[in-house]
A = this chain, B = another copy of it.
Amino acid sequence: MCPHRLVLEHVTSRWGVLVLIQLLERPYRFSELRRAIGRVSEKMLTQTLQTLERDGMVHRDAKPVIPPRVDYSLTDLGREAAAQVRDLALWTEKRMTEVLAARQAYDEARTP
């Protein structure tokens, strides 16, 4: 598999999309981000953030305090990706009526 295809999979992955769009708004702490996204396990959020950090999309700022505090934000690269992903998400929202109509036509043609 070509390497840039993998990056595309990271940013368009189930949780990657939601993380990028959320961080486009402002930086978030770990638990705060988890609550904002909703119904994501710690494991998947950790994994998604690590992948996006490794790809240079997300910046991780761990403050050496007790209790630990870690802030996540977008890099310049991440902001570019996030903006495109958000546009695609907004497009699907805007076109939802057409999609639902197409589905109904498709389903009705097959269950007479």
Contact = CB atoms under 8 A, between A and B. Distances in A.
A77 interface: yes
A4 B56 contact: no
A53 interface: yes
Please report whether the interface of chain A is mostly helix, strand, loop or mixed according to DSSP: helix
A80 B95 contact: yes
Interface stretch (A22-30, A66-74, A96-104): A96-104
**Identical copies of this chain, number:** 2
Contact of A101 (B56, B88, B93): B56
Interface residues of A, number: 35
A103 B10 CA distance: 13
A54 interface: yes
Interface string A44-65: 0000000001111000000000
